[in-house]
Amino acid sequence: MVQHAPNPVRLSGRLTRSQFRGKIGIMGGSFNPPHAGHLAMAKRARAQAGLKYVIWLVSPQNPLKSSRGMASFTSRLAACEKMAKGHSWLHVSQFETCLQQQAGQIYQPVTTAQTLVELRRLLPYAQLIWVMGADNLIQFGSWDNCEMIQNATDMLILGRPGYNYQALSGYGRHLMGHRTQPRLLGKKTISGTYTRSRLTDGKRTNSNWTGGKWAFDMNAYNLLSATQLRQAGNQL
């Protein structure tokens, strides 16, 4: 069980946790390396869902990816921070590394579900929206505690060429809740009152919660791939 993240743990060096209010987009990933496609996704998500901020959560190690060919966490974090410069709405965070150290999981990756539990505690005034590409929706069913993730936050899926049809017809899509428009993500009502149970630390509590909705932005096309960039010799 991941221990509670203490207040001093910050998501960003620029803002305190009390300043993270309203709709906050969360983009997790290896960013190996970060590229223009990541930035384009962040901009598209911000515009479509009306996000106040977007946070890039740089993962120490994605449990579904091999560590072979993975640049050091320090270099990936620095590259993300360099790319985020000049964008006051974009923040880069090593939050998962902090959780990993606190939980004594130095050799075991922190999962997205664990991260979201702690983010909810750290940012009680934020409406978190998980942002990911259609390729990740295909794999979503294999994520640890995927149903908990779906309950804990709204999700914005951004289309990617070659992945959209499989994403919308696969198992991951059927785990999603109520499909809506991107601009309605983070809101507590959908055509009236929308009440859903929330999962926290494996315990279910009833609340008028925003989690459980999802939207698919079919017109968001990200042609770049970190894997292709590495294969072309673009290493950190």
Length of the chain: 236
List, for residues 92-145, the tens digit of each pLDDT value.
Answer: 998 888 887 776 655 567 788 988 888 888 888 899 999 999 999 999 999 989
All domains of the chain, ordered by start, with CATH? 22-231 (3.40.50.620)
With a cut of 90, say whether residue 57 has pLDDT above it.
Answer: yes
The residue among 112, 30, 103 whose CA lies nearest residue 67 is 30
Strongest mean pLDDT among 2-6, 94-98, 209-213: 94-98
Kindly state the average pLDDT of the residues 20-46: 92
Q: How far is residue 113 from each of residues 80, 100, 145, 147, 152, measured CA to CA in Å? A: 23, 13, 6, 9, 8
pLDDT(80) > 90: yes
In this prediction, residue 20 carries a pLDDT of 84
The radius of gyration of the chain's CA atoms, rounded to the nearest angstrom, is: 17
Across residues 216-234, what is the average pLDDT?
61
Indicate if the pLDDT at residue 47 is higher than 50.
Answer: yes
Mean pLDDT of 56-78: 81
Contact 89, 56 (CB under 8 A): no
pLDDT of residue 209: 46
Query: What HEC string does 85-118 produce?
Result: CCCCCEEEECHHHHHHHHCCCCCCCCCHHHHHHH
Q: pLDDT of 146-194, one tens digit each? A: 988 888 899 999 998 888 889 999 888 988 888 999 999 998 644 433 3
The pair of structure tokens assigned to 236 is: 């950190």
pLDDT at residue 193, as a whole number: 35
Tell me how far apart the alpha carbons of residues 70 and 67 are, in angstroms, rounded to a whole number.
5
pLDDT of residue 102: 73
- The beta strand positions in 31-161, using DSSP E, are 53-58, 90-93, 126-133, 154-158
Q: Evaluate if residue 227 carries a pLDDT over 60.
A: no
DSSP 172-202: HHHT--EE--GGGTT-S-SSS---EEEEETT
Strand, helix or coil for residue 130 = strand
Residue 122 token pair:
């750290």
Sign of CA dihedral 30, 112, 159, 219: negative
Calculate helix-pair angle for 95-102, 112-122, nearest 10 degrees: 100
pTM for the model = 0.79
pLDDT of residue 107: 54
Count of CB atoms situated within 10 Å of the CB of 193: 8
Q: Which amino acid is at 55?
A: I
| pLDDT averaged over every residue in the chain | 78
For residue 202, pLDDT over 50 is answered with no
